Amino acid sequence: MKFFIDTADVAEIKDLASTGLLDGVTTNPSLIAQSGRDFIEVITEICGIIDGPVSAEVAATDFDTMLKEGRHLAKIASNVVIKVPLTPDGLKTCKTLSDEGTMVNVTLCFSAAQAILAAKAGASFISPFIGRLDDLGQDGLMLISDIVEIYSQYPEFQTEVLVASIRNPNHIVEAAKMGADVSTIPPKVIRQLYNHPLTDQGLEAFVKDWAKTGQTILAA
């Protein structure tokens, strides 16, 4: 499974990219607003940090303007992925851009039916929002299972399942078990993946036992 980080905070991206475990970045208008910075400037800087896909979302909702914005954003760097909403105009934009060789991330997916449309439109990624479905009392992970199963039936579908709206490590583990291609994860949740009390306890014991030996691995 690929790990994308879901943020527009450049400091967080640099920190997590230094681990070597990061494969890409997703942003959205809300995350850009939280950064308080210029949109184009932020996307440009992120593309210089990460070699993998960097999702930049269009602001328009009509086809003509979305297409113009998408083409403009695609010029920033070769790894920019244009993010469009799962609407009729968004899918029309997706089809046009993907036919031009531009990677497209179709976002705000909440049903398997929508995911089929995105794949037929040539989306590089489909972003089902599982946390928001959970908030409504629905099973967000079941949507991931359905999309993965459907896509597996059609080799011509090249769309990767990008699990979004992740709230906890379990979302990632369960989505990975289902075969999802990518998880886009808030920085806080990525760091939670490291944590287990038995790891901490075991390391503490090892450190104490090593100290008792009085030895050093590195010569003075």
Rounded-to-integer distance, Cα 155 and Cα 166, Å: 27
The pair of structure tokens assigned to 88 is: 């009729």
The H or E element spanning position 162 is strand 160-163
Closest CA to 69 of 47, 49, 39, 48: 39
**Which residue out of 14, 68, 83, 177 is catalytically annotated?**
83
Determine how many CB atoms are found less than 10 A away from the CB of residue 89.
Answer: 17
Cα-Cα-Cα-Cα dihedral sign, residues 10, 13, 15, 20: negative
- Alpha-carbon span 57 to 60, nearest angstrom: 9
Q: How many CB atoms lie within 10 A of CB 193?
A: 14
Q: Which two tokens stand for residue 151?
A: 């896509």
Is 177 an annotated catalytic residue?
no
Which residues are catalytic, by number?
Answer: 83
